[in-house]
Amino acid sequence: MRISLVLPKLLDHPVGGYKVHLQLANALQRAGHAVTVILPLSSTNRPTGSELWRWARTRFGHQPALTWFPLEAEVQIVLPARLRASTLPAADVTILTAWQTAAVTTDPPAHAGRLVQVVYDVEFWNPESLDSPLSRALRRPDVTRIATSAVVAEMLETLGGRAAFTLRAGIDPSEFACSVDPAARAPVVGFALRPQPAKDMATMFEALQLLHEARPLVSVQCWGAAPGLLTPPFITRLGRLSATELQAAYNTCQLFLLSSRSEGFGLPVAEAMSCGTVPISTRCGGPEELIAEGRNGRLVPVGDAVGLSRATIELLDDRETRLRLAAAGIATQQRWTLEDSMEAYCRTVESLGT
């Protein structure tokens, strides 16, 4: 089959949702399909000068399109200046990602084939805005939707845009694995530094301040690019990391914290578990499908800085429980790998193209 996979814009750095979709492109290509990835300069927003410069250099062959992800050589890349329905290439199945791609491809040409949308996140969903562009995009009647978690499927039901399938992402054990015995790790706590309001860094910083006051010798480190976001001075910022560097960072930590107000899936939680790092997350949706409270991690209420700090201190102080949770987390992720996930996605996409 000919399969197009449409991403909202060209990026020069790793993003969890992008990575899931690019892994799908590779899996479909290896399964024998002709795959094209569409990476526009922009879907909806006016591009910045740096984005325009990067896209132009890529478009005219001066640099690779995706320096951070190894696409199969046979996968074709198309770089339109602006994503529109008219720019969709001929395909048997066109896979839309991110709500923006569905918002700007209404009235698609017949040659685009069956339209499928992988709905990965709910972070920007406002249930009071059912007539917003996002809401309308997620309930298009001509699109078959695949939800990446039960939380996302429930959100779509509320919007009136039912998910036909629910398929969760998997972790590649060759990319994220436990390489440092959790019993041998120093007391280090890690988290992903992300500026979006839904990630609730205010609660994270408050919880970590409480942790620092109670256990000043515990090291705290974060990763991710958020140049305009100030962090407390006791936090070590590692910056944007490659996949190899990220695995090493997880394997340095005893605990991984997530303070989000909403998550469609919570890929960092799965990555941390695979590396033997115990996750402590707010009850923000997707992570609740991965973490069983007290069995392979800890869950606290959304916005509860005191609860997040308390759970962190308890596990730092209780070595036996921490190691038990770490082992259970590794086992959890081994039961559903990237290979399992991609096989399920491929079967589903193939069934939609017949």
CATH code of the domain occupying 182-334: 3.40.50.2000
pLDDT band at 12 (very low <50, low <70, confident <90, very high): confident
pLDDT band at 160 (very low <50, low <70, confident <90, very high): confident
- Mean pLDDT, residues 52-81: 84
Quick check: 44 pLDDT over 90?
no
Q: How many CB atoms lie within 10 A of CB 350?
A: 17
Q: Where are the domains of the chain?
A: 2-170+338-352, 182-334
Query: Among positive and negative, which fits the CA dihedral 284, 263, 251, 176?
Result: positive
- State how far the Cα of 296 lies from the Cα of 321, in Å rounded to an integer: 10
> pLDDT per residue over 69-92, tens digit each?
899 999 999 988 889 999 899 999
Query: Among positive and negative, which fits the CA dihedral 57, 62, 66, 71?
Result: positive
pLDDT value of residue 95: 97
What percent of the chain stands above pLDDT 70?
96
Confirm whether pTM is higher than 0.85: yes
- Mean pLDDT, residues 156-183: 92
pLDDT value of residue 176: 95
- State how far the Cα of 44 lies from the Cα of 47, in Å rounded to an integer: 9
CATH code of the domain occupying 2-170+338-352: 3.40.50.11090
Axis-axis angle for helices 319-334, 267-274 (nearest 10): 110
Quick check: 300 pLDDT over 80?
yes
Could you tell me the CA-to-CA distances from 183 to 40, 251, 283 in Å, in that order?
A: 46, 11, 27
- State how far the Cα of 268 lies from the Cα of 88, in Å rounded to an integer: 32
- State how far the Cα of 52 lies from the Cα of 253, in Å rounded to an integer: 38
Quick check: 335 pLDDT over 80?
yes
- What are the start-end ranges of the E strands in the chain? 2-6, 34-38, 76-78, 93-97, 114-119, 143-147, 165-166, 188-192, 219-223, 235-237, 255-258, 278-282, 298-300
Q: Residue 122 corresponds to which tokens in the numbers above?
A: 């709910």
pLDDT band at 13 (very low <50, low <70, confident <90, very high): confident
- What are the start-end ranges of the E strands in 101-153? 114-119, 143-147
Q: Of the given ranges (223-227, 296-300, 307-311), which has the lowest mean pLDDT?
A: 223-227
pLDDT value of residue 305: 98
What percent of the chain stands above pLDDT 90?
70
> pLDDT per residue over 245-293, tens digit each?
999 999 999 999 999 999 988 899 999 999 999 999 999 999 999 999 9
Q: Is the pLDDT higher at 167 or at 14?
A: 167
